């Protein structure tokens, strides 16, 4: 077991991260804990959640949560309120990416992406606002994707959900600005690490034979990975720390982090 830093840039902050047990969420949890934050980890997998809580130490709380279930989210944030009375930072990192030819999309593929990518952050933001207000203000970071900037094949539903997420962030940023609640959209490119990279395209089950060859042939993979082969999840965590440590009075509405 490791313990969080007693000092650091985020000492005394209560931070909730969704999708905390893999990919960028895992790197964010580790980095914020190292900066002294008290971490509240939200994820569906109970076993991986417990392992991460054990790793990060006594200042960490794990709450098994399906962000697409409003009652589940409500219960998780009630638990945060009961234990801490406030929340300083919410990071909406959980996401579901299922590239697929549009006419082959199963109902469940559509619903799952909408629940996780769009409804999930809507539920978590709604539940977090009173706790952020209790803290005297704070930060929300919503993880979007460069698919909203560059149009890729087989990404219609994913793009739709991330565009909706960006619209949500714009609306909340205006609505809660006077309460010192800052909302930032992080447009994130491919990130390599535990659970990161191009695996969602490459290992796409029955559609792999369609998706991966076209993305390679049209240069999509090379374009998003860049000459450096993709950014790391650790560098993405650095960006999150930078955003939430901006001085009060400065707000970053949209940040794009990518490899080149």
- Active site positions, annotated: 158
> What distance, in Å, lies between the first and last C-alpha atoms of the chain?
36
CA angle in degrees (0–180, nearest 5) for 48-49-55: 90
φ, ψ for residue 5, nearest 5 deg: -70, 140
Mapped to the 3 state alphabet, what secondary structure does 146-201 carry?
HHHCCCCCCCHHHHHHHHHHHHHHHHHHHHCHHHCEEEEEEEECCEECCCCCCHHH
- Paired residues of 39 in beta bridges: 15, 60
Report how far residue 44's alpha carbon sits from residue 58's, in angstroms, rounded to the nearest whole number: 21
d(CA 101, CA 110): 12
CA 158 from chain centre, in angstroms, equals 14
How many residues are given for the chain?
Answer: 260
Please name the residues in contact with 142: beta carbons below 8 A apart, sequence gap of 6 or more.
92, 121, 165, 166, 168, 169, 183, 184, 185, 186
Cα–Cα distance measured from residue 11 to residue 220, given in angstroms and rounded to the nearest whole number: 41
Q: Which of 108, 100, 114 is nearest to 152 (CA)?
A: 100
């Amino acid at each position: 077991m490791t313990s969080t830093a007693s000092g650091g840039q985020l000492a005394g902050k209560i931070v909730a991260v969704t999708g905390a047990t893999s990919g960028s969420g895992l790197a964010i949890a580790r980095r914020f804990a190292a900066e002294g934050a008290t971490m509240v980890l939200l994820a569906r997998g109970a076993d991986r959640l417990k392992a991460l809580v054990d790793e990060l130490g006594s200042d960490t709380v794990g709450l098994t949560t399906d962000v697409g279930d409003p009652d589940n989210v409500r219960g998780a944030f009630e638990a945060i309120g009961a234990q801490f009375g406030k929340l300083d930072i919410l990071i909406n990192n959980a996401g579901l990416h299922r590239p697929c030819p549009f006419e082959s999309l199963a109902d469940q593929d559509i619903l799952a992406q909408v629940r996780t990518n769009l409804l999930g952050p809507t539920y978590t933001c709604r539940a977090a606002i009173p706790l952020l207000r209790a803290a005297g203000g704070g930060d929300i970071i919503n993880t979007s994707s460069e698919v909203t900037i560059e149009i890729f094949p087989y990404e219609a539903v994913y793009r739709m959900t991330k565009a909706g997420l960006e619209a949500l962030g714009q609306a909340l940023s205006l609505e809660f600005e006077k309460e010192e609640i800052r909302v930032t959209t992080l447009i994130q490119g491919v990130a390599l690490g535990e659970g990161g990279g191009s695996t969602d395209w490459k290992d796409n089950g029955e559609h792999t034979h369609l998706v991966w060859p076209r993305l390679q042939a049209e240069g999509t993979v090379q374009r998003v990975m860049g000459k450096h082969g993709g950014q790391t999840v650790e560098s993405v965590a650095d960006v999150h720390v930078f955003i939430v440590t901006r001085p009060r009075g400065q707000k970053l509405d949209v940040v794009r982090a990518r490899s080149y």
